[in-house]
Amino acid sequence: MVKLPEKFPEYSIMYKTILNQINYLEKIKSDSDDEIEIQTKINNYKTELNKIKKKFPDNYFDEGYYS
């Protein structure tokens, strides 16, 4: 059995929310006047995603294992 973090549901929801926000920012980045600020936000969100990923087993959020 794979060990999940103590606050599994919260981290899982945070992961999906942050991923959706990154996707949204990627879409609007090219149309924006302030691409640098948006890219900074995207980088910050990706850092948070990596922190969440480290709390879970390898490949947990990859295609097929987490849906």
Give me the pLDDT at residue 31, please.
84
Q: What is the pLDDT along the chain (67 residues), one digit of tens a residue?
A: 567 778 888 998 999 999 999 999 999 998 888 999 999 999 999 999 999 999 888 888 876 444 4
Question: Quick one: CA dihedral 62, 4, 22, 41, positive or negative?
Answer: negative
**pTM beyond 0.85, yes or no:** no
Cα 20 to the chain's mean position, in Å? 8
Beta-carbon neighbour count of residue 42 at 10 Å? 17
Cβ atoms of 50 and 18 within 8 Å: the answer is: no
